[in-house]
Amino acid sequence: MGSGAGKSGWAERRPVLFPFLLSLFCLALSEQIHYRIPEEMPEGSVVGNLAKDLRLSVHELPTRKLRVSSEKPYFTVSAESGELLVSSRLDREQICGKKSACALEFEVVAENPLNFYHVNVEIEDVNDHTPKFSQNSFELQISESTPPGTRFILEVAEDADIGLNSLQTYKLSLSPSFSLINKEKQDGSKFPELVLEKPLDREQQSYHRLVLTASDGGDPPLSGTIELQIQVTDANDNPPVFTQDVYRVNLGENVPPGTTVLQVSATDQDEGVNSEIAYSFYRSGQVFGLNSKSGEITTLKTLDFEEIKEYSIVVEGRDGGGLVAQCTVEISIQDENDNRPDITFHSLVEMILENAVPGTLIALIKIHDRDSGENGEVNCRLEGEVPFQIISSSKNSYKLVTAGTLDREQIPEYNVTIVATDKGKPPLCTHTSVTLHITDVNDNAPVFHQASYVVHVAENNPPGASIEQVRASDPDLGPNGHVSYSIVASDLEPRALSSYVSVNPQSGVVFAQRAFDHEQLRAFELTLQARDHGSPALSSNVSLRVLVGDRNDNAPRVLYPALGHDGSALFDTVPRAAQPGYLVTKVVAVDADSGHNAWLSYHVLQASEPGLFSVGLRTGEVRTARALGDRDAARQRLLVAVRDGGQPPLSATATLLLVFADSLQEALPDLSDRPSPSDPQAELQFYLVVALALISVLFLLAVILAVALHLRRSSSPAAWGCFKPGLCVKSGPVVPPNYSEGTLPYSYNLCVAHTGKTEFNFLKCSEQLSSGQDILCGDSSGALFPLCNSSESTSHPETLMAVSSI
């Protein structure tokens, strides 16, 4: 018994179990859960513990989300206990009518994983309807000449219940003149016939009132009554007689109104008015019409097999004398294929993972055709080529499942059309379309647009500059397609990597973190990774090779000739008899750059004797261009420039000291005349002495000028005559200068002395001044002023010294 039986005493569970199938499939979808409950159970009543019958624990209920999938909400599932509850009124007569068996079939859907289970609830009849007559009284006219044993069909009661609860017997109140016979039709329904037991006498009793009681077989039984009012009429010897007691006819549904069903016929052996028969329905109806003269029955409206399948009509034939005969017309409505199948989706999963395996349940489909027989049998299929299929689950229930591999990147959604076709003639079909969206799964790794990257970067680039941008695409959606970039490997030292390059994780732009130096690092390789944000994340790698290009940022460096320890240039000897083309030496230089920037050329910038030597443009070889002449100095100085091929070019110079001598001993005297390098400390001391002397002279002149001004104010003007302009006179004739020898007025002997680091050159006057020559006083232009002296002057030789620093 189900749990509902504990509350109402009626519910009974009958699970149909198949142990072998259960051992294989743990509750197959084809298993049906059966319950039996009485009708008219109050709302909220428990039908059964559905979760327990499905072997689900209470803890699973929140995730499984059991729910009922049916067209009408008669039942619901408790989310807390998993019990199947009554949710609306269960009236068996309204649901199933006169059917002997009444059952409600529906599916219970469970999620996570998605599945459905068939449930059958049988509704048992309860004696809740009383047999009822359509009217309170029934009038019947019987001629007094009617012989005993004549039977009359009486009013039939209706009871909506079935089985024992339906109408079972009719009883007639006690009467000496009448009795009652219970008769049964082919469909099992019962109807009463009144039997005349003895002749009637209108003159003795013209009216008879009897009570007809209809009772069902319920416990306790219910009953309904009707009053029979029998009028005894004057003699009409022959009642009408129908040609058939029961007329049966099959009539197709959907015939138009006014269609003739059949024609009943009755005869009366009387004559005159007593033989005229008028036809009428025992009960008036709104479905069929009856011609009272001809007995022809026609339809008044369209018939529908799905609403009423059979009609039972009682037709009376009454003659002019009041005698009545009855016949029964049974009309069976024939089904026609006039209803298209209805397609209903239950638990449709519109978002499907693209990695769903074949056989994944997408939707539960219920197909209902109101027609019967072959007209109600339906085939279901999918239209077109789609990776799905329809699988029959049970009668009129189907499952839509995946049948192939799905790929959202190729087809993001499918418009699936389901076609349901019945087996009628002609068949009717229904098309229903549903859009199924494929949900993205991180099944695609990022793909770089290039198999590898090579980038050329010129050295001395600005730090922070972009050198390349790598791009990778991921066809997935959302985080599954969002790509970030990183450096995962390099041939650089791990610690130094971050100081060389970096990559923007969003854009893939690679930045130089420092200025590259071609001379230190000519190339390096990075391994970049593009990684999506899926779970789990997918990634791919690509190599990026950075080639550092050369720039002309290094001047040539002279390796030979090298400078001495004190920074002076070394010398090379050249034989005096060297012929033109003689290899004197070779200037050797290198350039740290590469390519054209390191392509060196050699040029003569300065030479003591132009044309005496030549330098190879590319080799740097110094050769004699001609033989040494008598006028050529023995010591030659050659300045050679070394230029690279960059733009702009950079250069360096090399100084060559070449001495023409046949031996080293012969070259040493020439080398001794080389001026010694100046001592910076001695030069500084010299400049300080000169500055001090100048300051002393200026001070002395200021003192003399002050004394002179003082004496001028205190003495006679005659004492200052010679100091006045134009008053200085010569004491003797002036000796005119002699310019016959050189550009100076006197001849000097130049003497050069090497003392330490400083050279002193002395100029010695070679002629004597005449006694009367002025050497200090001069005119206003700054020439030599004549010296004002006494009347006689003594001539004496003077020595002039000039000091110069070379």
How high is the pLDDT of residue 250? 93
Cα angle value 79/83/87 (rounded, 5°): 85
Q: What does pLDDT average to in each consecutive run of 10 residues of the chain (806 residues)? A: 37 37 38 87 92 88 86 88 92 84 87 84 90 88 85 87 88 92 83 90 86 91 92 78 93 91 90 85 84 93 88 89 87 90 85 90 89 88 92 85 91 93 91 92 94 94 94 93 95 89 95 92 94 94 94 91 74 87 93 91 92 92 89 88 92 91 70 53 78 90 91 62 42 38 34 36 37 34 33 31 28
Task: State how far the Cα of 402 lies from the Cα of 389, in Å rounded to an integer.
Answer: 6
pLDDT score at 567? 66
Note whether 11 and 47 are within 8 A (CB): yes
CA distance 283 to 287: 12
Looking at residue 317, what is its pLDDT? 92
- Burial of residue 266 (number of CB atoms within 10 Å: 0-12, 13-18, 19+): buried
C-beta separation of 117 from 29 below 8 A? yes
Cα distances from 663 to residues 99, 562, 564, 570, 627, in angstroms, run 145, 22, 21, 16, 18
pLDDT score at 798:
31
How many whole angstroms separate alpha carbon 343 and alpha carbon 430?
8
Residue 51: which of 30, 68, 74 has the closest Cα?
68
Backbone angles phi, psi at 163, to 5 degrees: 65, -140
Residue 180 has a pLDDT of 93
Q: Which domains does the chain have, with CATH numbers?
A: 33-124 (2.60.40.60), 137-233 (2.60.40.60), 241-334 (2.60.40.60), 342-439 (2.60.40.60), 447-549 (2.60.40.60), 557-660 (2.60.40.60)
